[in-house]
A and B are shown apart, each in its own frame.
Chain A
Amino acid sequence: MNKNSKRVLAVVAASGLVLASVALSSANAATKSVTLVYQGPLTGTDAQTGQDELLGAKTAVAIYNATNPAVTVKLITADDQGEGAVAGTVAPGIAANKAVVGVVGPAYSGASIASFPSYKSTGLTMVSPSATRVTLTDPKSADNGYPFFHRVVGNDALQGPAVVRWSTKGVTSPKVYVIDDQTPYGTGLRDAALDYIKATKVSLVGKDSVAQKTSDYSATVAKIKSAGANVVIYTGYYPDGGQLAKALDDASWKGTFAGGDGVLNDAYIGVAGKAAAEGSKFTAPAVPFEIAASDAQQAAFTKATGLKTAAGHVYVTETFNATNVFLACIKQGKTSRAGIQLCVSTGTFYGLDGKTVLKFTRFGEVVGGAPVGGFQVVNGTIKYFGAV
């Protein structure tokens, strides 16, 4: 091969490379995609909560992608089992994934605290549908996720008083016994409930602190009976709450069993049994999807999830809203982590009904707070009773 032939070949090869790269970049522009991750308990004792929330995220992404946007969104999942110890091992992998521009979650407060170091150091924005511990947005706390953590739900400072009000509603001379599960969520909600009890002079007849995964609640039941309590507020999650409610029922205790959003789950009825679960009350800064969604949104939900209705699934609306916060930013052309962070922290968004305004304070709370709903098990199903 002579020199000229080599030059010709080099020019042809270079031209080919340029053309190929132009073609590739055009193709990339046409199919640009960013990734959102849903982080929550998808397996483990609290898996039902994560599986429920994922329905809301899937629906929001499906509605968005169906509009043929310039930037499509891929939804992936990260299973932290709702436990800080697991979240601490999952979060670094998510943070290192450059394709991920936002985290819908973490779902649980303990898992949030464990995830913060990874996300804060890599500028990854979080919008949680259900982590309610007060300190997550408290600038004085070492547990805060500022400036990357946001949540679309009211915190336990709102839920604590609500769970006391709702559990004692209709009870003559309420005598309240408060039990926490020793988790960051459980102790946070307990403190908020106790503060309200003290301030309103509701009769507090006792309190206990029982670690998660306890099987035998006989001592706690004996104390509740001994104290003459007619209202028990459990600040923990449904697997343990169900066990405690069952133990109380087996001991023929008569009264109102109540819990926060950690206990609000259809699976609670399965663990406690129908008889023990009947009449149990819950609060949650949540609005059921099947109540708030339009017909078109209901249809989109069914198409995206294969389920006829969202009834019995918790935090679907809130996860839908949290996902939509990111989707609104992506729609505005924000596809980098920095762009998303600026958009989420300064933008104004709308909830499922298209009217509820979601705007975040500097530390990640919804401006003006969010309503806390009351729920109760009636004839074996959980019914919504509006804001309490």
Chain B
Amino acid sequence: MNFSVVLNQFWPLLISGLALGFIYVLISLGYTMVYGVLRLINFANSEIFMVGTFATVIVSRYFFHFDQNTDPLHGFRLFYTMGACLIASMLMSGVTAVMVELIAYRRLRAKGTNRLASLISAIGTSIMLQEGVRILTHSTPMSNPRLLRKFGAITIGDVNTPNNVVIRNDILLVIVFAAALFFAVDRFVSKTLLGKAIRAVSMSEETSRLMGINLNRVISATFLIGGFMTGAAAFLYETVYENTKYNVGFSIGLAAFTAAVLGGIGNLRGAFFGGLTLGLLEVFIAAVLGTQWKSVTVFVVLVLVLLFKPNGLFGEAVQQSRV
């Protein structure tokens, strides 16, 4: 065990954990919103994320013709290029999510098949997407050109001493943008008509139908919003890590799903707390115990939490915000 690293690298670890956690938050929204309305896990969400990462890379490399030798952008050019990448990722992930709903869920739902069939068809769609991209890319990873020059945007303390606080601009972007998106979705679900319809469906599908809510439209909208959030996470992931491959969604999707369960799946604010908790846990455990112990410890913590709180950490405390 290496506790000294926590003492003299506390702030960098905390900031990295928060950035990772916020990416988890956005992806876990895709899981938790779908679970809220369908009571089913959208196993294809990891591939919805993967598609979003490729959208950012494809737009920057093939639409704007940037490569690894391109100098980072500045000013308005940086703004509209990154904006285009963000929109492309959100759109691609959103459209893919709706397609997943149409292909893997809707018809089976209309036929009244059991929930297991929907789960299997979602897993099948996930494998189809992943293998399709693997074949198209020959399993080769793709690097995202560095559009944003990285520098310490906020510095507190002397940079030459341990435990100074330096928050890089890309990390700051992740934290601020992801927090804003989460807040926007939370407000959207609790204040707008569509948001209320989503919450109504999550509470009782049958009653919602009797009240005149178009179930299919609400479910599609839920997938679309979840897909948008996952796509935004994919864009932020590319901004920080600048690399993707056909299976990029597997481990990060599993982590986001774990975050959703940890916080209380089906609960928006649970996804928020779960994502941040998991991000911080992963980073600090890797620092103290060694990276090889990260996954083991995270799942031990998850099992322990579920033993004592089967609905997750915040599953019942914030029931009102359930979608």
Contact = CB atoms under 8 A, between A and B. Distances in A.
Interface residues of A, number: 35
B248 interface: yes
A270 B168 CA distance: 22
Contact of A271 (B69, B138, B141, B166): B141
Interface string A211-232: 1011110111111011100000
Contacts of B152: 252
B4 A226 contact: yes
Contacts of B207: none
A43 B139 contact: yes
Contact of A222 (B9, B138, B139, B252): B9
Interface of B: 2, 4-5, 8-9, 12-13, 16-17, 20, 68-69, 138-141, 143, 146, 150, 152, 162, 166, 168, 237, 241-243, 245, 247-248, 251-252, 282-287, 290-292, 294
12 contacts: A44-B138, A47-B140, A209-B290, A216-B20, A218-B17, A221-B12, A222-B283, A226-B2, A226-B5, A226-B162, A243-B243, A246-B242
Interface string A29-50: 0000000000000011101000
Contact of A211 (B237, B245, B287, B291): B291
Among B168, B284, B292: residue with most chain A CB under 10 A? B292
A219 B286 contact: yes
Interface in A308-348: none
A109 interface: no
A383 interface: no
B180 to A, nearest CB: 22
Interface of A: 43-45, 47, 81, 182, 206, 208-211, 213-216, 218-223, 225-227, 239, 243, 246, 250-252, 269-271, 273-274
Given A225-B12, A250-B150, A250-B168, A45 B287 contact: no
B243 A271 contact: yes
A310 to B, nearest CB: 21
A216 to B, nearest CB: 5
Given A216-B16, A243-B243, A246-B242, A45 B290 contact: no
A270 B245 contact: no
Contacts of A45: 139-141, 245
Interface centre among A45, A219, A227 (most CB of B within 10 A): A219
B57 to A, nearest CB: 13
Given A216-B241, A223-B287, A274 B69 contact: yes
Contacts of A227: 5
Contacts of B4: 226
Contact of B292 (A43, A47, A209): A209
A219 B150 contact: no
A41 B40 CA distance: 38
A246 B68 CA distance: 13
Contacts of B243: 215, 243, 271
Contacts of B16: 216, 218-219, 222
